Structure 1
Amino acid sequence: MGSAPTLAELYAEVQLFYARQMQGLDSGKLEAYADTFTEDAEFSHTPGREPARTRAGILADLEDFHKRFEGDPLRRRHWFNMIDIDPQPDGTIISICYALVVKIRPGKAPEIAASCVVHDVLTRAGGELLNKSRRVEYDPAL
């Protein structure tokens, strides 16, 4: 069995996980995005909506959420930054980061649609990182 990763190695792994996860979401690969969650995960991403539970529930929730964008050339980019990780004794990783959601429309300047704090619990399955839970808190408009 190999040694535990250093904090720097773990940090880089979490950054790569987020990069791949969010690029999948932003490119419309909803099933691939849902597959980055555990089978029993919980995902709370929109104020006023109940959290989605289970991987299948997350996929259904995302498909429903994205219906509002059908026929709209809007593209969204999710930028995760200022990531703070805290490895736990049980092997999970508490991750808190800032997220900006940027709207991109043809012929217009990019626009920040939301500023958020993302609270994740990451775990491993088959050696890969997965989201056990995600809670997104939106910053209030000033």
Structure 2
Amino acid sequence: MSVQEAPARGPQSSVELYQQVQQFYARQMQLLDSGEVDAWAHTFTEDGVFATNAQPEPTVGRQAMAAGARNAVEYYTAQGIQRRHMLGTVSVTGQEGTTVTVRSYVLLIETPRGGQATILCSATCEDVLELGPDGPAVRQRDVSRDDLV
């Protein structure tokens, strides 16, 4: 069932929810790619979890996520590499109260200064979002890189 076919639940219609989710992801990815790691980390709940099959253990909590993202941004900046996270094919797969589940695909693109852009990897992203007064926040993110499956 597509999000447009899903019945309205709570205060938002499925179309309004989908638009809110899309805008959230656009903002979240742009914050990370522009190096605004503290603002990016605040798009997760305080105790949010980021798990990926590329790391042995999940990262838990905003502070840990901000620290990891900061290290990555500093490393790639020093290497002269711009990273872009292209998140698409977003599907709101469920909603229960203020909890929304979302599935999407991600391409991670790297462009070295003066060089050619390359796709580093593709992945599937499964999120549990909490809808709050300030908009969505990620409670749980599970990223599965296609090359590591």
- Fold conserved (TM > 0.5)? yes
TM-score where L is the length of structure 1: 0.89
1:28-43 matched pairs, under 5 angstroms? 28-43=35-50
Larger deviation, residues 57-66 vs 114-123: 57-66
Distance 1:28 1:70 in 2: 9
Moved over 3 A (4+): 64-68
What is the aligned residue count?
Answer: 139
Deviations 1:27-61 (A, max 9, x none): 00110100100001101246133111111121122
Cα offset for 1:104? 1.1
Distance 2:17 2:97 in 1: 15
Cα offset for 1:113? 0.6
Distance 1:69 1:79 in 2: 17
Structure 1 position 12 matched with structure 2 position 25: no
Deviations 1:37-96 (A, max 9, x none): 000110124613311111112112222344432511100110111111023223211000
Q: Name the aligned partner's letter for residue 42 of structure 1.
A: V
Q: Which residue of 1 aligns with 2:88?
A: 81
User: Over the residues paired in the alignment, what is the CA RMSD in angstroms?
Assistant: 1.7
* Structure 1: segments with no counterpart, 5+ residues: none
TM-score where L is the length of structure 2: 0.85
SS at match of 2:25: helix
